[in-house]
Amino acid sequence: MPALAPRPAHPRRDSFRIPKRRRHVPEARAEVRRILKDWAVGGELADDIATVATELVANAVRHCQVPLAEIEVTLSIRGCGLLVEVADPDRGRLPAPRAEGERGPDDDGGGLGLVLVAALAERWGCEARPFTKSVWAYFLVPRESGCDT
């Protein structure tokens, strides 16, 4: 499985924004894939990161109640892993995963995305910031990258 390219002298970080519209979710996925390719992240790790990033972006687009908002996606190398952060300005609405079979008040058959995030990422969480909320997922990088995981 391909790993990260040799570590740069400074931590790697890349971010972009998309409008809070469903039609832009595939564009976000494509941009995450481009960044991962530029960083020489491939294989199953890249698939997992892209899947999780897409899920987090789709959740932000769907649940953010701030009109005309933008969603910010940030990928960064942290320690021996890669962090994906998706931020939106609706800081009062923090996500919570649903158990399989659990139904929500506006249930449309979805709602298990965070279960998928938890299964693919090493860990995930969310935090309210001064002007946004961020939902993040952390992925360990294979040993070939020089990290002892």
Residue type for position 94: L
Q: Where are the beta strands (DSSP E) in 30-145?
A: 70-78, 81-88, 123-128, 133-140
Q: Which residue has the tokens 């942290």?
A: 78
First to last CA, the chain: 15
32-57 pLDDT tens trace? 999 999 999 999 999 999 999 999 99
Quick check: 108 pLDDT over 90? no
Q: What is the mean pLDDT of the chain?
A: 85
Residues 6+ apart with CB under 8 A from 78: 11, 138
**What pLDDT does residue 149 have?**
43
Q: What are phi and psi of 71, to 5 degrees?
A: -105, 130
pTM here? 0.82
Q: What is the token pair recorded at 7? A: 């570590």
CB 61 within 8 A of CB 34: no
